[in-house]
Structure 1
């Protein structure tokens, strides 16, 4: 199976707030917008995200309003410190300040208006020996 694109659709009554948040704080642009749906994309089509109103009849079966927990949207960047500085310059609401994690990520995080937790991460070297107790060998 070959995919043309992939993106989550977050069902939320806060469609416009989410659109404005992602445009202002993360530089996403609107690819498509209707009264019930907005599709956003990052520079270079490196990430895509959509928001949909819960009351539109075209909604596929099953998607209730996003409850604001149970999902983490990862955005990997080359330089998390620079991304953090840029996010703060635009008054982004930081939920987790920039930190180097022993498992090998430099990251910061925030919650968007829909309640979606967003982790902005840069891959770095893990602390020596960190993964030794977690890695499963090929034999299982």
Structure 2
């Protein structure tokens, strides 16, 4: 199978608020929007490929019927950035809820988390050096 694109499609009753959150806090661009659906694209860093995410309402007219509204459990959307601290400062200043961190994790990330109005936990990470020996205990060989 050759795939042109792949993106999560999350069902929410808070469509407009979720769109506004992604545009305001994450710099997303609205690619397509209808009364029951919005497709957003997050900008890429340093020539990378942009990330697409879409949301729809539970009352959408597509066939077959889709899932019920997302309940905020079982999904983390991870966004890797060059500077977690810079992203944290910008999101906090813009009023985004910070639900975790920022923290330096032993596996080699500096990260924090926010949650969008649809309930999606957004994990903003910067890759760092892991603590010495951290990955070896999980069967990963050191470089």
TM-score, structure 1 as length reference? 0.91
Alpha-carbon distance in 2 for matches of 1:108, 1:56: 33
Q: Report the Cα offset of residue 79 of structure 1.
A: 1.2
Structure 1 residue runs of 4+, over 3 Å off? 59-62
Deviation per residue, 1:102-123 (Å, 9 max, x gap): 0111100011111111100111
Say which is worse superposed, 4-13 or 55-64, in terms of deviation: 55-64
Match of 2:21?
A: 21
TM-score relative to the length of structure 2: 0.89
Distance 2:61 2:28 in 1: 27
1:122 matches 2:126: yes
Question: What is the aligned partner in structure 1 of residue 38 from structure 2?
Answer: 38
Alignment gaps of 5+ in structure 1: none
Any idea what SS the aligned residue of 1:126 has?
coil
Q: May I ask how many residue pairs the two structures share in their alignment?
A: 137
Say what the alpha-carbon RMSD is for the aligned residues.
1.6
